[in-house]
Structure formats: structure tokens, C-alpha cells
Amino acid sequence: MTKRIVVTGIGATSPLGGTAEESWQALLSGVSGARTIEAEWVEKWQIPITFAGQAVVPSADVLTRQETKRLDPNSQFALTAAREAWADAGAPEVEPERLGVDWATGIGGLWTLLDAWDTLRERGPRRVLPMTVPMLMPNGGAAAISMDLGARAFSRTDVSACASSTESIANAFDHIQAGLADIVVAGGSEACIHPLPIASFAAMQALSKRNDDPAHASRPYDVTRDGFVLGEGGAAVVLETYEHAVARGARIYAELLGGSVTSDAYHITAPDPEGSAAARAMIAAITNAGYSVADVAHVNAHATSTPVGDIAEYNALRRVFGEAVEGIPVSATKASTGHLLGGAGAIEAVFVIKALSERLAPPTINLTEQDPEIRLDVVTEPRTLPDGDLLAISNSFGFGGHNAVAAFKTV
């Protein structure tokens, strides 16, 4: 028997705000989270890209000193978002053995790893901290959340580049369906605003070069788009069965219909320009839940603002919806947040959940001249969604050819 699975809690710390609600309100207001990086290493290492989507609220403002010392920034974002989502869900009483964690990251404890290497090189092995390995592990965020909440059903980590946290949400759906837990905290985080990944992404020509105008750098679908803006942060959702949520009187934001994962098997960084595997992921996420592609009323697109990526996703959308895609409201929220890599799917899932619960599609900022090859109905001002049951999908695609799609509906 298929279970109905619903969202009862959301949390986020992002370039737009320190909470899910602050991030949502800033998104609706057309705020850009991209800012110049005020760090000495930008000049020291002559980093070619000098801006990013930095988290608004430092982890030190919300976590204890011991937590910030013992957790990599990636895990700090994870714990911050998960705690907010858990409190938002009403801190439900649940047996530890029936509570699970499905978390995600694209890279993991990068700051810890590279700082430790600097310490080893400059000061020798005796000065390397004993907590280095636990802090740099990609599963550090999942472990921190599970220990904080006492989740003993399972604690799992997805690492699928920029598709990671959408995959974690899809997996959480499957894990509850399989009876492995009554409640799952799912989501993802990333903390990579560091000279090495910025230099590497810049060398790949993947980042926007608008150092003199960070706020307008991320411009999905615009003819002048020139790359993505690196972002950081984390987001979480609390998922449980509809019956479990109703029995405890929980507020329900939306229903998670499931998710789907496919692989391009095409190129390590470039998406398949035809978008065939991405299209299969969208179709499966919709039809496996018993719906038709004609039922989709809103899309939160992956839309990173790269010349190649935006076209590839459009081709995938066209495969799925045909000409009807031109009438579906599409939001590209990375224009505001930047690209949170492994945390992108989670923050965008929160935005889809809020869009459904408030019947309001968020805007895509910085779109001044839409690429004529991308014939989409891009939402550029907050737009009211229609009454009745609404179905929305959230797309995430990552290096390695990973495609993940999650489908949500109103309750």
C-alpha cells in the first residue's frame, strides 16, 4: 500500500536569510544574495572571481562555540537547518529507532580538509587536529543531525554533485514507503566559498565574471548569462506519513509525491544537450505518483545561469511537456541564492513547498532579455498560482550526469 508522505517542517540558512521564512521573504522581494567576498585570501591568491552567495547569518551566531569548533562549516549549516526544521515540525515525539536522516552534500568538509593540509605543510603532523577526519567526512552533516535529534533508524548521505539533496529527499520518500522510519529529516548543505573551488570553477569558465556587479551576476535564461554564482548554506525538510502527521495534529505544508533519479552517462561536467535522461527523471517523478505531465502547474528549474546548462534543461522540459511548457510558470531561484551545489536541491525544495502552501510562484530576478531559444514562461514577479490541487516539480542536475527530480503537491 502506497503511503501519503507530507512535509511538516522546513528550515534553511542561506545567502538570503538565516531561516526558511527569511529566505523565502527575501526571495519574494527580489533580493540577490551575491556579494563581494571580504576575505584576505581573495587578494593574497589573486582569485579571479571576487564574489559569491555567502550565508547571511554566520553559524557562530546560532551554534555554540564547541559546535563551531568541532564541525566543519558544511556540517554547521546542516545542523542549523535541521534544528529549525525540527522545531518547525513541533519537535515531534518519535521513537529513536523510527527516526531517520537522509542528508546530502556535493563536496563535504572542504574547509577542514584544506586547512588541515595547510597545517601539516606549515607546522608538521603533530599540529593536525585529532578531529580532522570526523570533520572532513562528507557524512559529517548527517552524523551531526542524527546525534542531535537521536535518530537511530538510519543516517545516510548522498553525494551526487548538484543533484545530491534532491536525491536525498527522493530517498527519504522511499525509506518511509519501505517502513524504515516514521519520520525522516532530509536535505543538504554546502560550504565551498574557499579559494580552491572558486579558482577551479573559474578555470572551467563555469562562474560568472561580473566582479563589478555581483547582484546581477546570476541571470538564468538571459542572453547575457555567463556562468553561475557559487553559494553556500543548507536546507532541511521534515517528512512523515499523512496519518502520522494528522494523528499528532501537525501543520502540513505540502505532500511529497516522490522523486526520480537518472544518469546521462554522457560527460563528467557537461549535461546531455538533448536532455533525454533529465526528461526521463521528470516524467518518472510525475507518473510514478499517478499523475500526468499535464497536471504540473509550476516548475522550479535547475537553471544555473550557464550558457550550456540552461539550454539543455530547456530541451529536457520541451521533451516532457512539448509546446505546453510555454504555459507553465517556471521559477529559477538560483538567480537570487546563487548555486548551493549539494545544498541547492534542498533550498529549492523549500521554495517549492512554500510556493504550493502559499500558492505563490517566486520570481526570477535579473532576466532583462530572455534567450529567444528558451521559450518558457519565466516568472519575473511573484505570481499567484491557481486554486485547486497543484502539482510542482523541482529539478536538480549535477556533474557526473546526475539527474534528480522531486514532485510535490498541495494538501
Residue in the block written with cell 529549525: 84
Angle, vertex CA 345, rays to CA 342 and CA 346, nearest 5: 95
Query: Annotated catalytic sites, by residue?
Result: 162, 302, 339
Percent composition of the chain: helix, strand, coil (DSSP 3-state, to 5): 40, 20, 40
CB neighbours of 130 closer than 8 A, spacing ≥ 6?
none
* 3-state class (DSSP) for residue 157: strand
Q: Can you give the three-state secondary structure of 73-132, one letter per residue?
A: HHHHHHHHHHHHHHHHCCCCCCCHHHEEEEEECCCCCHHHHHHHHHHHHHHCHHHCCCCH
- Mode of pairing for the β-strands spanning 296-300 and 391-398: parallel
Q: Which region, left, alpha or beta, applies to residue 155 given φ > 0 means left and ψ of -120 to 50 means alpha?
A: beta
Helices 276-287 and 307-321 pack at an angle, to 10 degrees, of: 50
CB neighbours of 124 closer than 8 A, spacing ≥ 6?
none
Angle, vertex CA 315, rays to CA 311 and CA 318, nearest 5: 135
- Mode of pairing for the β-strands spanning 254-263 and 34-36: unpaired
